[in-house]
Amino acid sequence: MKLHLGCGPVIVPGWVNVDKSPNVLLSRVPALKRGLARIGVLSQGHVDATFTRDVVHADVLAGLPYPDRAARFIYHAHVIEHLSRPQALQFLRECARLLAPGGVMRVCTPDLRQIVAAYEAGERGGPDAPMPADRFMQTLETYVDLPGARVQRLVRRNFATAYVHQWLYDAESLAQLLREAGLEPGPPLGFREGGFPDLDRLEIREQGLFMEASRPGA
């Protein structure tokens, strides 16, 4: 089995695509989704994100309904930064349980070192662009309370943890987290670098920290 966790709208054939977003279920009831969009509860991004019926709606933190050592490959991109560090460790331990000995998991997440370096370099991008400190905070995405009606803001706040960043990593801290989960991390990689299958379809964001880890054993 090949598991694509936190797949979002990136549905890759040949993989078991898993996501916990309520949008997975809403996509199965288009009329309800359109109604929520009309009253402003759903953003246009939520409306545009569609999920096919074969996407598995599940929360990895609650455990996935697959046996130990069932997966040869596991891929997840821009998932762990939305979890606290203890939750990320729990998530990766579940991945380790699912991974067959010698299996490989690939993770992509924002690179904290790159973000800090861009801030320290004073990168702005033009006179009308945000100040370096503002761009830094936007990139961290720790919380965004967007303008809107009271109901809209309440719904966003209740679902905020699914979209905002809770904990970011550099290569050293990510490798340490993987080791704590019982996995053996490799060196940092580049975008679509390496022999991991289907990277041309799985990996769509060029910026970030890319790392693979294996489950020790024969």
CATH number for 79: 3.40.50.150
Q: Is the pLDDT of residue 97 over 60?
A: yes
Same domain, 16 and 77: yes
Q: Which residues pair with 16 in a beta bridge?
A: 3
Neighbours of 104 (CB within 10 A): 21
Q: How many domains does the chain have?
A: 2
What is the CB-side half-sphere exposure of residue 50 using CA atoms within 13 A? 7
Tell me the CA distances in angstroms from 159 to 119, 146, 217, one per residue in order. Answer: 29, 13, 39
Overall average pLDDT of the 137-166 stretch: 69
One-character DSSP codes across 25-44: HHTT-HHHHHHHHHTTSS-H
Structural domain contains residue 129: yes
* 66 in the same domain as 6: yes
Do 106 and 177 have their domain in common? Answer: yes
Asked whether residue 204 falls in the same domain as residue 175, the answer is yes
One domain for residues 116 and 106: no
Residue 150 lies in a domain: yes
Select from 164, 182, 201 the last residue of a domain: 164
* DSSP state at residue 69: T
Question: Final residue of a domain: which of 127, 146, 164?
Answer: 164
Q: Quick one: pLDDT band at residue 24, thresholds 50, 70, 90?
A: low
Whether 26 maps to a domain, the answer reads no
pTM: 0.84
Query: Which residue range forms the structural domain that includes residue 86?
Result: 2-20+58-110+167-214
Average pLDDT, the chain: 86
Listing DSSP states for 102-171 in one string gives: EEEEEEEE-BHHHHHHHHHTT---STTSPPHHHHHHHHHT--------HHHHHHHHHTGGGTS----B-H
Percent of the chain whose predicted confidence (pLDDT) is above 70: 76
| pLDDT tens-place string over residues 160-202 | 445 688 999 999 999 999 999 999 999 999 999 999 999 999 9
Strands 71-77 and 2-5: parallel
Q: DSSP letter for 18, please.
A: E
